[in-house]
Structure 1
């Protein structure tokens, strides 16, 4: 992948925050205001691909329509040096995946706030008519006090109406294999309950240190989401309460109809239960 110049128009690149197949995400200083921002830049190899620009336009549209304290704020689309880029709020904290890899025990005191704020973000997206379709720890930024920002709205889709739910056909399979709902894997029309399934996978991983399913290849992994019974969280974390184990089990139901009906239902449960049998001390 071609290395980007140190400066793109008015943006001075400071630190690379992430990289994908077609984009790089950078912390940048915008001149002359010297405001620190995050920018998602289409790399030179993909700069002429109209589809990549459309993805940025789509992410901006979703973000603008669903502004919320728990969702990363989108500013504007720009182009510098022939490279399309999306200017976003800078939230200079690691993603949840990195924190889980470093050890879930240290996250214990933050678990209720992380799960609650992530749930609020997803609920707000649903309220605004969007399903995220890629809820995973990599897409959740977490500050040291547990404050959360949900990121990467690129494959968010409009929630289907009644006719879409009844007669929606198959579409391209999009998402991340470790966190995809069975209906998403099958390419079926998805609604907010697909995000609820993915959130269940994230809550499981936050308590167990690993996702509910693992396999030697993507096909086996996807098949497990479709047909295998997930392990009980209290077998992997003996401090997890029966209440949170039951909630995760319901969120990971194979059939959408067997999951909580909405994120509001999930939030109501989250706010009424304890996550741990014994208090978890700050480290």
Structure 2
């Protein structure tokens, strides 16, 4: 591979490509250092999370070293409550980590949808996270970034701790602590006082961060908030948290005391290691224990919360774009007469959401062939994809205009993903269709128009799979948000439902029950 080819591969989205044993299916999210994709490991026929070091960082030795250090630290931790690392490598200059894909949602997403967790569920989560930290502690590894976003809730009832990217490894022989890049790292809302000060940390720091997480999941808010990271850090250092029982009087005294002990400013006053926490959890009154587990986790997909936050920032633009029926697209330089006609059609007032979808089945999967022409703007690229109406064309919207680069790119990527879901539904590739619809459903409440299309798509999938229980679940969720959506888009969403579901939905809104 030439240098130019390698650079092009780095700069483009990897969706649709096959790298070694992994076929890249779609983007899951991104963080400060990496982009995460959903991929299929072809030799084992399993889905994996495929984490790729960002191309600009791959040129810096310190970041490459840190990226591989993360993988090595996490790979040594084999435990049911820890997201497993399968492989770390470098393919064609792309540094990657292939790791366990956890279907479900993280704790932050669960709280966003459901609010405070029950005492019993909170104890269940703490028990499993403590088990993960116990294993890490025995191997001299400190997580350093325990927070709701890094606690995965699987439909099977398992809790898995993810992202040991900030892990610090303690060398048992000489006591040397190796950290990455040499800066204070972590998330301010959940950072321990000693971590905020840049001091040496040990397993008790993870105990504090877990205490903040527990406080947040039980009360709905972390104990300390502020407008800046510095103001939050100062509160971790100087301010005592409000007693949790003032927010949750239903918690037992023993459980409340346990949470407040985790939040002690002085590490000597906390649980000294995860086994101590496990023992205290086991001693809680039997009335506190509840082994029930949420029954709706299987409808959610893992999305890195940094991507979700980026979408929240784009909300105002997205809403404005959604309500605008005509768009100024600038002067197009086109070499095809039909393309010009299509643009005139759009500018003439066509609402993009109301475009009908081609009913011709697709031959899947389609590998990128570099046959899709690139246009000057994301709007032009999306219009072009709408004319071709193929999965390759829609994937190129994201490939040529990465969603994290601007809110406008993110908006059209979501529209392209909506169309991809519909195409795969038509082709009866329900697994791929579901993954795109779930992405839309995961969006924030300000983006109800996309969520509506996602819920309608899921209802169609489960209807065609003869799963009435799941159909009911999606239609109920759709009925809860439909009135918050622009009337014209409401009609389009309802029209997308399979014919016999439309009547069911109308009856449900009138108070009928789906049989």
1:280 Cα shift?
Answer: 10
1:134 and 2:145 equivalent?
yes
1:21 and 2:14 equivalent?
no
The match for 2:53 is 42
How big is each residue's C-alpha offset from its partner over 1:213-243, in whole Å with a ceiling of 9 and x where there is no partner?
Answer: 1111111100000000101111112221111
1:4 and 2:13 equivalent?
yes
Per the normalisation by structure 2, the TM-score is 0.50
1:277 Cα shift?
Answer: 6.4
Q: Which has the larger radius of gyration?
A: 2
The match for 1:180 is 191
In 2, distance between residues paired with 1:254 and 1:163?
28
The match for 2:265 is 254
In 1, distance between residues paired with 2:63 and 2:118?
36
Structure scoring higher RCO (CA < 8 A, sep ≥ 6) equals 1
- For the Cα contact (< 8 Å) 1:8–1:81, is it kept in 2? no
User: Size of the alignment, in residue pairs?
Assistant: 278
| Bigger shift: residues 96-105 or 273-282 | 273-282
1:99 Cα shift?
Answer: 0.7
The match for 1:222 is 233
In 2, distance between residues paired with 1:48 and 1:137?
31
- For the Cα contact (< 8 Å) 1:159–1:190, is it kept in 2? no
How big is each residue's C-alpha offset from its partner over 1:181-205, in whole Å with a ceiling of 9 and x where there is no partner?
Answer: 1111111111110000011111111
- Aligned runs of 1:116-127 on 2, under 5 Å? 116-127=127-138
- For the Cα contact (< 8 Å) 2:152–2:162, is it kept in 1? yes
- For the Cα contact (< 8 Å) 2:26–2:38, is it kept in 1? yes
Larger strand percent: 1
In 1, distance between residues paired with 2:208 and 2:257?
13
How big is each residue's C-alpha offset from its partner over 1:123-153, in whole Å with a ceiling of 9 and x where there is no partner?
Answer: 1100111111111111111113531111111
The match for 1:244 is 255
In 2, distance between residues paired with 1:275 and 1:57?
44
- For the Cα contact (< 8 Å) 1:207–1:240, is it kept in 2? no
In 1, distance between residues paired with 2:240 and 2:64?
40
How big is each residue's C-alpha offset from its partner over 1:140-177, in whole Å with a ceiling of 9 and x where there is no partner?
Answer: 11113531111111111124779969xxxxx6211110
- For the Cα contact (< 8 Å) 2:243–2:260, is it kept in 1? yes
Question: Could you list the runs of 5+ residues in structure 1 that have no partner in the other structure?
Answer: 166-170
Larger helix percent: 2
- For the Cα contact (< 8 Å) 2:119–2:251, is it kept in 1? no
In 1, distance between residues paired with 2:228 and 2:246?
25
In 1, distance between residues paired with 2:244 and 2:104?
28
| Bigger shift: residues 24-33 or 244-253 | 24-33
The match for 2:113 is 102
In 1, distance between residues paired with 2:287 and 2:94?
48
- Aligned runs of 1:134-213 on 2, under 5 Å? 134-159=145-170, 172-213=183-224
- For the Cα contact (< 8 Å) 1:109–1:280, is it kept in 2? yes
- For the Cα contact (< 8 Å) 2:124–2:291, is it kept in 1? no
Question: Could you list the runs of 5+ residues in structure 2 that have no partner in the other structure?
Answer: 1-9, 177-181, 295-515
- For the Cα contact (< 8 Å) 2:121–2:291, is it kept in 1? no
1:113 and 2:124 equivalent?
yes
- For the Cα contact (< 8 Å) 2:117–2:218, is it kept in 1? no
| Bigger shift: residues 30-39 or 261-270 | 30-39
In 1, distance between residues paired with 2:286 and 2:260?
14
In 2, distance between residues paired with 1:30 and 1:163?
39
In 1, distance between residues paired with 2:19 and 2:231?
46
* Closer, same or farther: CA 219–106 of 1 in aligned 2, 3 Å: closer
* Closer, same or farther: CA 17–108 of 1 in aligned 2, 3 Å: farther
* Closer, same or farther: CA 253–108 of 1 in aligned 2, 3 Å: closer
1:77 and 2:88 equivalent?
yes
How big is each residue's C-alpha offset from its partner over 1:71-102, in whole Å with a ceiling of 9 and x where there is no partner?
Answer: 11111112234211111111122111111111
RMSD over equivalenced CA pairs, Å: 2.6
| Bigger shift: residues 129-138 or 51-60 | 51-60
1:45 Cα shift?
Answer: 2.6
